[in-house]
Amino acid sequence: MPAPDPLPPDFWQPPLAELQARLGSPPEGLSEEEADNRRRTFGPNLLRPRAERTWVLQFLAHFRNPLVLVLLAASAIAGVLGDTKSFVVISVIVMMSVTLDFFQEFRASRAVEKLRHTVALRAAVIRGGQAREIPVSALVPGDVVTLAAGDLAPADGRVLDARDLFVNQALLTGESYPVEKRAQDVLPDADMTSATNALFLGTSVISGAGRMLIVRTGAATALGQIADTLTQRPQATAFERGTQAFGALILRLTVILVLTVLLINAAFHRPLFESFLFAVALAVGLTPELLPMVLSVTLSQGAMRLARRRVIVKRLSAVQELGGIDVLCTDKTGTLTEGHIRLERHVDALGRDSERVLELAYLNSQFETGIRSPLDEAILAHTHIDVGAWRKIDEVPFDFERRRVSVLLERGGARSLFVKGSPEDVLRLCTRYEDAEAQPSLDAAARERILALFAELSRDGFRVLGIAWRQVPPQQDHAVVTDESELVFCGFAAFLDPPKASAAPALAALAAGGVAVKIVSGDNELVARYICDKLGVPITGVLNGSDIQAMSDPALHAQVERVTLFCRVTPAQKTRI
């Protein structure tokens, strides 16, 4: 089988059949022989790791600090001149300081490595027509992988088929709500955030099931490209630059003073050997032997305090950097918010809180068959309603054209159809609405008021479902799409990823400490504004990802000082900010 053609970065754009042909992926999956050939061509499905140095090189790297070099030079000179006490004291202090630095960072790196190895992922792949489990690292472009709730997407690829497949891709896009994935073509200008027919490495399946065609693996994935930017050698921190500059200053002063002493003694015709001994003694006396040790112990104490809060410090100098920040850029989803969807409001057609809306939404979600969506789970987790008196008769399942689901239930001999779905579609099927005990006609004015309420909830960042119902004849034992007519509109169920209880106090403490907070999110502006309002974060300016894309670095630099909210930004744009 020929090797796959080079694929465009936006692999979600070509028709699926064309993509399968270019990848040389048959319906029964790749053979083991072909998979081995492709693994040799494309490499293992692993993110490119940072080039790790041996522990010996890591240890020796700590001697590059000018301050340490000054002390080593002073120690060596003292040893040559027979000043054993100074030689031993300075050498021991330098070794203790360097060893403490090395041990702290080495232990942190081993802890990270241990965490990495505990997550040994496997994938269900179809090879030669047979389903089998293999390590994720063994996947290659052209493989067909099956996915179910709880799985992580093992690479970047296209959806082959899906059944109620909802994916959390907040890792890449910052989107709070799970995104539904379908095997269909997308608009020509669709980007990664709107590629509903594509799955990306690291995103997780919340519900449903499906199959995906692996297109990009390892470092070629979207997450791999982000990881590449993070594995580059980190720049020296301000603290490291400061200590290096101080060490270089001490070195220059020592050399200048030693030379000055030698010249003065030579001018007064003092003995050369005695003058040299005096200059060396001066050099040793000028070197701050305890400074590296004091710095290492102080930073290690900070690292240990952070470790007790379950924070791994890989570079000791980062402790000082953390304490010296004056601007904090933070993500929203999962950092300031809970990271999962909750039912926040249930209101009637006039915007009043309504237990009736909650009850009807609960009945619909409870008796709906198939795989529940995250919104259904949020409704059922919100409260518990006794449904023992209800009996299910039939159901009209959800589909993408109707964008709603209906269940036919019976209680006490009376039968009712309960409908839940897209607010516009549900409202379009209604002829009346509930107002306390009455059911007035849904005229144009009432319809306009309800749509305005829907728009207001959407502006506040809520994901909204419409709830409606109707009574049917007691003898009706089937439900069909045509039954979804002449409905009574009950109200809206509104969902949100709520702020963490600890977020507002943390942000207030940062503000009190003089730290400016900027929210950098991949989510939309409405949701981000709502969270900022809830947490008391002042919004002095807003930039969207599309605005940032069109800006040069100097133009962006001029804006980031003023702007406090960045929305719809990609991971690469977060790095620019």
Q: What is the largest CA-CA distance in the chain?
A: 124
Residue 159 is classified by DSSP as E
pLDDT of 273 > 80? The answer is: no
Residue 99, phi then psi, degrees to nearest 5? -65, -40
- Residues near 7 by beta carbon (within 8 Å), at least 6 away in sequence: 19, 22, 23, 141, 215, 216
- Residues near 9 by beta carbon (within 8 Å), at least 6 away in sequence: none
- pLDDT for 118: 43
pLDDT of 566 > 50? The answer is: yes
**Nearest-angstrom CA–CA distance, 229 and 574:** 12
Q: Which sequence positions are flagged as catalytic?
A: 331
Q: Is 421 helix (H, G, I), strand (E, B) or coil?
A: strand
Amino acid in position 179: V
Of 267-271, 289-293, 317-321, 439-443, give the lowest mean pLDDT range: 289-293
| Arithmetic mean of pLDDT over the chain | 81
- Helices 503-512 and 525-535, packing angle to 10 deg: 70
Judged by phi (left if over 0) then psi (alpha if -120 to 50, else beta), residue 436 lies in left
Of 76-80, 153-157, 219-223, give the lowest mean pLDDT range: 76-80
**Nearest-angstrom CA–CA distance, 83 and 86:** 6
The mean pLDDT of 548-574, rounded to a whole number, is 85
Query: In which band, very low, low, confident or very high, does the pLDDT at 487 lie, cut at 50, 70 and 90?
Result: very high
* Whether 409 contacts 391, CB under 8 Å: yes
* Whether 98 contacts 72, CB under 8 Å: no
333-353 tens-digit pLDDT = 778 888 778 899 999 999 999
Q: Which DSSP string do the residues of 486-547 spell out, in sequence order?
A: SEEEEEEEEEE-PBPTTHHHHHHHHHHTT-EEEEE-SS-HHHHHHHHHHHT---S-EEEHHH
pLDDT of 5 > 80? The answer is: no
- Helices 238-267 and 272-286, packing angle to 10 deg: 160
Distances in Å between the Cα of 561 and the Cα atoms of 518, 531, 538, 554 are 10, 21, 14, 12
**pTM recorded for the entire structure:** 0.62
- pLDDT for 391: 93
Rg (CA), the chain: 33
pLDDT of 6 > 60? The answer is: no
- pLDDT for 115: 47
CA 72 to chain centre: 45
Which is nearest to 289 in space by CA: 64, 76, 72?
Answer: 72
Distances in Å between the Cα of 156 and the Cα atoms of 11, 39, 226 are 9, 16, 13
Structural domains in the chain, CATH included, are 16-31+139-224 (2.70.150.10), 55-115+235-323 (no CATH), 327-339+501-576 (3.40.50.1000), 342-496 (3.40.1110.10)
% residues pLDDT > 70 (the chain): 84
Of 190-199, 288-297, 361-370, give the lowest mean pLDDT range: 288-297
Query: In which band, very low, low, confident or very high, does the pLDDT at 288 lie, cut at 50, 70 and 90?
Result: low
> Which sign does the torsion angle of CA 390, 394, 398, 404 carry?
negative
- pLDDT for 532: 86
pLDDT of 51 > 70? The answer is: no
DSSP H helices, 399-467, are 423-428, 444-459
Of 76-90, 181-195, 519-533, give the lowest mean pLDDT range: 76-90
Of 82-91, 142-151, 416-425, 494-503, give the lowest mean pLDDT range: 82-91
The mean pLDDT of 236-242, rounded to a whole number, is 72
Residue 345, phi then psi, degrees to nearest 5? -140, 150
The mean pLDDT of 160-179, rounded to a whole number, is 78
The beta strand positions in 51-155, using DSSP E, are 122-127, 130-135, 144-148
% residues pLDDT > 90 (the chain): 20
Q: Is 407 helix (H, G, I), strand (E, B) or coil?
A: strand
Between residues 20 and 270, the one the model is more confident about = 20
Which is nearest to 203 in space by CA: 154, 157, 144?
Answer: 154
Query: In which band, very low, low, confident or very high, does the pLDDT at 446 lie, cut at 50, 70 and 90?
Result: very high
Query: In which band, very low, low, confident or very high, does the pLDDT at 110 lie, cut at 50, 70 and 90?
Result: low
512-534 tens-digit pLDDT = 888 888 988 877 777 788 888 88
Of 79-83, 230-234, 390-394, 552-556, give the lowest mean pLDDT range: 230-234
Q: Which DSSP string do the residues of 250-300 spell out, in sequence order?
A: HHHHHHHHHHHHHHHHHHTT--HHHHHHHHHHHHHHHS-TTHHHHHHHHHH
- pLDDT for 113: 58
Of 30-34, 144-148, 232-236, give the lowest mean pLDDT range: 232-236
- pLDDT for 473: 92
Query: In which band, very low, low, confident or very high, does the pLDDT at 291 lie, cut at 50, 70 and 90?
Result: low
